[in-house]
Amino acid sequence: MLAIALGLKAVHASYRVYYTTLADLVARTSRAALGGALADDEMRFWNGPQLLLVIDELTTTQLATLQHKLDQTQTERGRLLDAYQAALLNLDQLTRRTTALTARRDQHAAEHDQLTELATENRLRRGLAGFAERVLGSARRA
């Protein structure tokens, strides 16, 4: 919400505003960098006067997705127990499926913890600063 308000203020002040996610920005510029240089139209856009780049960190969305996956594994665990109690699964099946489910839950939990740590420690912003320097260097060479 704050990013949108900031962008609107910038537009009213005659700035050009570009909204993007960090993942999209990295993907676009990486593709261009692999090609040897940024395309001419990209260069005109990035080098133009008064540009405000609004980058939405994907962390919030990714954290929400991982939390949803964690919730789903909990729901699935309950359904497995219900199926076992209704004699739709035998003990071996329940054990095998529960083990696989626990492994999946642990993987999602580890990803969630890593992403939370990444966001908390602000590594994303520090990494973006280095990335921005590389983009500017590429823009200056073109």
Read off the pLDDT band of 17 (50, 70, 90).
confident
Which of helix, strand or coil describes residue 88? coil
Structure confidence by residue, pLDDT tens digits, 44-88: 556 666 777 777 665 677 778 888 999 999 999 999 999 999 999
- C-alpha distances in Å from residue 36, one per residue of 26, 30, 141: 15, 10, 11
As a 3-state breakdown, the chain gives helix, strand, coil percent values, each rounded to 5, of 75, 10, 15
Which of helix, strand or coil describes residue 16? strand
The residue extents of the domains of the chain are 2-56, 60-120
Residues of the chain with pLDDT > 90: what percent? 28
CA 82 to chain centre: 35
Contacts of 70 (CB under 8 A, 6+ apart): 105, 108, 109, 112
Are 17 and 7 contacting, i.e. CB atoms less than 8 angstroms apart? Answer: yes
113 — phi, psi (to 5°)? -65, -40
Tell whether pTM > 0.75: no
β-bridge mates for residue 51, sequence order = 16
Helix/strand/coil (H/E/C) assignment for every residue in 48-64: CCCEEEEEECCHHHHHH
Q: Which two tokens stand for residue 66?
A: 């991982």
